[in-house]
Structure 1
Amino acid sequence: MSTPTEVIVATQSEARPGAAVATTFPILVMLSFCHLLNDMIQSLLPAIYPLLKSEFALDFGQIGLITLTFQITASLLQPMVGMFTDRHPKPWSLAFGMGSTLIGLLLLSRAPSFPVLLMAAALIGTGSAVFHPESSRIARLASGGRHGLAQSIFQVGGNIGSASGPLLAAFIIMPRGQASIAWFALAAMIAILVLGRIGRWYQLQIPNLARPAMRAAGRAAYTRRQVTIAIGVLGVLIFSKYFYLASLSSYYTFYLMHRFSLGAQSAQVHLFIFLAAVAAGTLIGGPVGDRIGRRYVIWASILGVLPFTLMLPHANLLWTTVLTVVIGLVLASAFAAILVFAQELVPGRTGMISGLFFGFAFGMGGIGAAVLGQLADHIGIEAVYRICAWLPAIGLLAWFLPRKQDSNQIKVP
């Protein structure tokens, strides 16, 4: 039971379910822009793996370990950050988290050894752990009740950043070497300034926020058993989605270079095309979920991508490009719907749920990268893609998600 001094931040629409609250688009756009800068910086790490592999004589297992260090740092800290800030809002935490990313970026540009690379990855992961749950909370606060739309606007910035990182790495870092990574410190500095502005807005909202009245309604609409099963199913779907995405985001360039004899820059361009498709899919998924129901979006996006993943390992270069675009569009539409579905299962715990799901997604990506890297060393990268093609079949579990959300038995203004 909550103590009298406990501060739980909820959205204004949660605090007053019948109130009409306008969507604060300037804040959402600034959050999306900072998400772009944050994830652009983060995506530089896997994008420069070919450079690091050559520079430090790394094998696939060590490359997977770098990703694991980054992802596990982020995944372990995110739920704890979310739980803490549910009770103790920290408007300036976003700027401080980006400061950790800035230090990690500068360290990465000067790292003389593999252990220092791991340290830099951990610092960047720490910045991500602070950024994602708090930004997701503020996006919900600024949504005016249009939660799927707000999450999509927020997340598409991250996807655009993830897509642009490999392209920038291909044409800036790869030709100039490791030291040129430091040029991207300017992006982190700009993000710190914008996040300071967002923090001031957030600070002004805190005194006006009430304890979420929606929590009682949420418990009445969903039984404890339904919530437990639904969270478990959503977690397994996150595993399916991000384990598969790890095979593309971390090893797609190596796959193209090995199977089709592409050069590193050309392979990076193909990775950019895939990640751009992911960004477009993210923007589509949230608003569609607001209109037709998030359960349907989750079902279609995970299971619906299965025919395309099964064809991918057998396609030529042209069809590989086409199939990865379709896979990116369809698969990426799931996350906004999954996150908002989970937030509405447990009202009033936006930070904890956001941290849990962002953290779990990062963790699955990291574990996937490490496992698939070891597997690629033993059976080859093409065999890895044939195995991973079956992961979206796990989307069948979406059948067990409760249907109350789609029948509007929970009213979200």
Structure 2
Amino acid sequence: MSTKRVRNRAITLLSLGHACVDVYQGAVAALVPFFVAERAYSYAAASGVVLAASLLSSVVQPLFGALTDRWAMPWLLPLSALTGGAGVALSGVADSYALTLTVVAVSGVGVAAYHPEAARAARDAAHGSHTAMGWFSLGGNVGFALAPLLVAAVVATGGLGASPLLAVPAVVGAALCAAAVRSAAAGGGPAADRGKGAGRDDWRSFLRLSGAIVCRSIVFVGLSAFVSLYVRQRTGGGNVAGTAALCVLYVGGAVGTVAGGRLADRYGRLTVVRHAYVLTGLAVAGVVLVPGPSVYLFVAVTSAGLYVPFSLHITLGQDYLPRRVGTASGVTLGLTVSAGGLAAPVVGALADATSLRTALVPLIALPALGRLLLCGLREPAPPEPPGQAVPAGAVGSGSGSSSTA
């Protein structure tokens, strides 16, 4: 089998596995209405369930990244897929609030364990193709977006007692991840001696990039939480109008993720990322300030702008820290994303004190701040040609190899 076919097979399997795992990133929030309805959880208690999964997951991802920097752990992919699914599957049958928090936290740890090693595996399989990494990132985005539909299909029909059925994607994902590991090994997998011989770590550039990702995360989480309510207010429509806006936000993200990889292959990562931040700022202004049905167009453009740099953020972070690829993946996929979740309650509190429109206005400035942080950054050094004998930590390292969660 040719190298390109091996790469495409590995990326396809990893992308599908990524979708199965990231179902559990979206499933916890989708379960909240059912916890409130069946268990009479307060909003504070329900929020605690979401935080148990997302916050712990974000914090421990860099730890797993550091571990993968030292040792090759391909077995972690199927194991973490099963762990992520098991926690969510058990959450509906846990007989106490404390136990529910525990199993949901276990699911978050499983998701956290998956992403740094998966990002490294995808990086190695892509051999520098931004387009391949865009497809890998798309898998995670699709899984996240499908989570509410899966939860509704299972729990709305059988109640929380049917939650063990939510383990099915985890089993499928584990099988796909195992197959991806075998496929990558057949094409010449990475060695265990990771990072040695790679270039120098550029922490200054990495931290500036991470700051820009935080800005992007706050905008995305803020809009995800409130765009449905806001569009209902702006258009005078009902639930359908708000749901349609949320769907546009997700669909635009899918398009943007794939487009980002293709554009980066042609124009370069930093050029594409910088233009995406400018586009996002203008589009968010349109969402907040322009009345009427045209808001849907601005939501779509905002979504594309937010997701075009999605996989490029991760590969840039990895290439700024070539000796710590796992750590870079854990930070860009974990800690920076959690900042968006922590900022969402601030947006909500401001909306309670003023109005939802006023609360969303600060989101206009964040892409501009992210763009400023990107000023002066340089494209990392290109990777060594695939045919040369380079250590695993450097394989595929430059132009665009990894993805996200």
**TM-score using structure 2 length:** 0.82
User: Partner letter of residue 230 of structure 1?
Assistant: S
SS of 1:318 mapped into structure 2: coil
CA change 1:326–1:194 in 2 (3 A) is same
Which amino acid letter does the alignment assign opposite residue 244 of structure 1?
Answer: V
Check whether the contact 2:22–2:144 (CA below 8 A) recurs between aligned residues.
yes
Deviations 1:91-138 (A, max 9, x none): 211111112112211122234555444334312211111111111111
Is residue 97–residue 131 contact of structure 1 (8 Å, CA) maintained in 2?
yes
Are 2:70 and 2:194, in contact at CA under 8 Å, matched by a contact in 1? no
Q: Secondary structure, in 3 states, of the residue corresponding to 2:259?
A: helix
Is 1:250 aligned with 2:225?
A: yes
2:264 to 284, 289, 305: 289
Aligned partner (choices 378, 381, 386) of residue 361 of structure 2:
386
Amino acid of the residue matched to residue 387 of structure 1? P
Q: Name the Cα RMSD after superposition.
A: 3.0
Query: Aligned equivalents of 2:348 and 2:157: distance in 1?
Result: 25
- Name which of 110, 126, 143 aligns with 2:93: 110
Q: Which stretches of structure 1, 4 residues or more, deviate above 6 A after TM superposition?
A: none
Superposition deviation, residue 144 in structure 1 = 2.3
- CA, structure 1 residues 386+351, in 2 after alignment: closer, same or farther (shift >3 Å)? same
Aligned-partner SS, 2:378: coil
Write the distance in 2 (CA, Å) between the matches of 1:244 and 1:32.
Answer: 25
| Match in the other structure for 1:262 | 238
| Alpha-carbon contact 1:306-1:389 (below 8 Å) kept | yes
CA contact (8 A) 1:82 1:133 kept: yes
> Alignment partner for residue 24 of structure 2, among 41, 54, 61?
41
1:318 partnered with 2:293: yes
What is aligned with 1:331?
306
Q: Are the aligned partners of 1:295 and 1:398 in contact in 2 as well (CA < 8 Å)? A: no
The answer to whether the Cα contact below 8 Å between 2:61 and 2:113 also exists between their aligned partners in 1 is yes
For 1:60 and 1:374, how far apart are their aligned partners in 2?
14
Q: Name the aligned partner's letter for residue 126 of structure 1.
A: V
CA gap of 1:55–1:247, structure 2 versus 1, over 3 A, is farther
Partner in structure 2 of residue 229 of structure 1? 204
2:194 corresponds to 1:199? no
Please state if 1:178 is matched with 2:160: yes
After the TM superposition, which residues 16-95 of structure 1 pair with which residues of structure 2 at under 5 Å, given as runs?
Answer: 22=4, 24-55=7-38, 62-95=45-78
- SS across alignment from 1:24: helix
State whether residues 83 and 107 of structure 2, in contact with CA within 8 Å, keep that contact through their aligned partners in structure 1: yes
- Assess if the C-alpha contact under 8 Å between 1:74 and 1:362 holds in 2: no
* 1:43 to partner: Cα distance: 1.2
Percent identical residues: 26
Query: What is the deviation of 1:177?
Result: 4.1
Describe the superposition over 1:208-235 as per-residue Cα deviations: whole angstroms up to 9, x where unpaired: 67665762xx33xxxx7xx233112111
In the aligned structure 1, how far is the partner of 2:72 from the partner of 2:19? 23
Structure 1 residues 326 and 126: alpha-carbon distance in aligned structure 2, compared to 1, 3 A threshold: same
* Alignment match, 2:135: 153
User: Aligned partners of 1:326 and 1:24: how far apart in 2?
Assistant: 31
